[in-house]
């Protein structure tokens, strides 16, 4: 059976997942593909390990942008696919291989079928961390190619193929990483009075952090603090001198993020005083909320419902994070979920998106861009 060409591309990209700002093979693959296309209507710029491609319109008075992310995750793949990851410990477990193949399919169509307006395709690195969208926007890579609107998609394992899920307004939460390092005084387990125990301090801190959301965030708002990892100590009979907590903060408003971070810092300061230890907080990478432009999103939903074979549903906002929010902060546009009906979810080592969604996604976006980009 002959594979759809962009399914084949997806499988090739799936084998070379790379972490943020290390997407060297991925960038080369994309550039090699782009160099097979006619050069008359495309211009290519590189930025770090990403790139931006402009497809020239015939009589442009605006520029429509489409963004895809390109990095993988530090997850060991367990799918047993014949085209599984060739990079041990890394996997495209968030669908960025799908995202790239769909973007290339749309780009290729418009190189071959020119429309009135310019199109800009942004292949952005480091979405999973430490975040590529904000520094990419702050660079000069889009100078003279500034978009008038922008769009992007994310695969959704919970929806069937042929379904688009989206909503105007808030789609994804504000997110922040959370790293807390504690340093006390180690010693023998038989002489706790001569030590400053950082396992005890860490456990106390985790318990206290649970009060931040329940007692500092409006119950009609939403926020989450999760500590996903604790490391401390060496063996069972030595009191730990150091401990490290790693987690995440997610809120549905930027204001709540500021409040939650301030309370976390205050509680850590209290641990430092109460346990007579040293404590340091690092909020790591922060992502701004994905807030869809109301008018454009409603127009897109209406177009999908009435001019395509796809089903559109209005979804709820999610506590997931996406640095595409920085692009929507400055450029009108929207992000939507594309159904891929996988038993396993995002960031799972057995994620198996249905490849039929690639053709569906390409066709749907082409139809919408034709609608928006021709007058």
Strand-pairing partners, residue 290, are 172
Long-range contacts of 138-146 (CB under 8 A, 24+ apart): 139/47, 141/45, 141/46, 141/47, 141/52, 142/52, 145/52, 145/54, 145/63, 145/118, 145/120, 146/63
User: What number of H helices and E strands is found in the chain?
Assistant: 9, 17
How do 50-55 and 42-47 pair as beta strands?
antiparallel
Cα 108 to chain center, whole Å?
Answer: 24
What is the DSSP code (8-state) at residue 322?
-
Alpha carbon 368 to chain centroid distance?
Answer: 23
Residue closest to 304 by CA, chosen among 312, 316, 296, 313: 312
> Which residue among the candidates 18, 23, 69, 241 is catalytic per the annotation?
69
**Annotation marks residue 177 as catalytic:** no
- DSSP assignments along 129-162, one per residue: TT-SHHHHHHSSTTTT---SEEEEEEEETTS-TT
128 catalytically annotated: yes
Task: Please name the residues in contact with 220: beta carbons below 8 A apart, sequence gap of 6 or more.
Answer: none
Could you give the dihedral angle defined by the CA atoms of residues 207, 284, 167 and 164, in that order, rounded to the nearest 10 degrees?
A: -110
Q: Which of 18, 23, 71, 128 is catalytic?
A: 128
| 71: exposed, middle or buried (Cβ count in 10 Å: 0-12, 13-18, 19+) | buried
Residues known to be catalytic: 69, 128
């Amino acid at each position: 059976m002959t594979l759809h060409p962009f399914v084949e591309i997806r499988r090739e990209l799936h084998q070379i997942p790379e972490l943020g700002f290390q997407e060297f093979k991925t960038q080369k693959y994309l550039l090699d593909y782009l160099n097979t296309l006619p050069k008359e209507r495309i211009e290519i710029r590189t930025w770090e390990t990403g790139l931006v491609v402009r497809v020239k319109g015939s009589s442009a008075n605006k520029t429509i942008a489409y963004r895809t992310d390109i990095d993988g995750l530090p997850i060991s793949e367990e799918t047993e696919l014949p085209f599984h990851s060739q990079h041990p410990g890394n996997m495209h477990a968030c669908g960025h291989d799908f995202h790239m193949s769909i973007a290339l399919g749309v780009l290729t169509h418009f190189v071959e079928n020119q429309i009135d307006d310019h199109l800009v395709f942004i292949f952005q690195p480091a979405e999973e961390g430490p975040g590529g969208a904000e520094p990419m926007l702050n660079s000069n890579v889009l100078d003279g190619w500034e978009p008038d609107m922008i769009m992007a998609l994310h695969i959704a394992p919970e929806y069937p193929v042929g379904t688009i899920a989206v909503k105007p307004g808030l789609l994804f939460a504000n997110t922040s990483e959370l790293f807390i390092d504690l340093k006390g005084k180690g010693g023998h387990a038989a002489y706790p009075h001569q030590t400053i125990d950082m396992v005890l301090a860490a456990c106390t801190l985790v318990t206290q952090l649970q009060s931040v959301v329940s007692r500092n965030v409006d119950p009609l708002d939403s926020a989450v603090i999760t500590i996903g990892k604790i490391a401390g100590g060496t063996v069972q009979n030595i009191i730990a001198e150091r401990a490290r907590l790693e987690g995440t903060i997610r809120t549905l408003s930027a204001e709540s993020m500021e409040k939650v971070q301030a309370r976390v810092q205050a509680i850590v300061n209290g641990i430092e005083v109460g346990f007579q230890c040293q404590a340091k907080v690092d909020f790591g990478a922060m992502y701004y909320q994905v807030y869809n432009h109301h008018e454009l999103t409603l127009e897109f939903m209406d177009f999908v419902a009435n001019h395509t074979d796809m089903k559109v549903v209005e979804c709820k906002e999610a506590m997931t994070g996406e640095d595409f929010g920085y692009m929507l902060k400055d450029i009108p546009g929207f992000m939507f979920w594309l159904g891929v009906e996988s038993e396993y979810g995002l960031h799972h080592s057995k994620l198996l998106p249905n490849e039929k969604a690639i053709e569906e996604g390409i066709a749907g976006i082409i139809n919408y861009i034709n609608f928006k980009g021709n007058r």
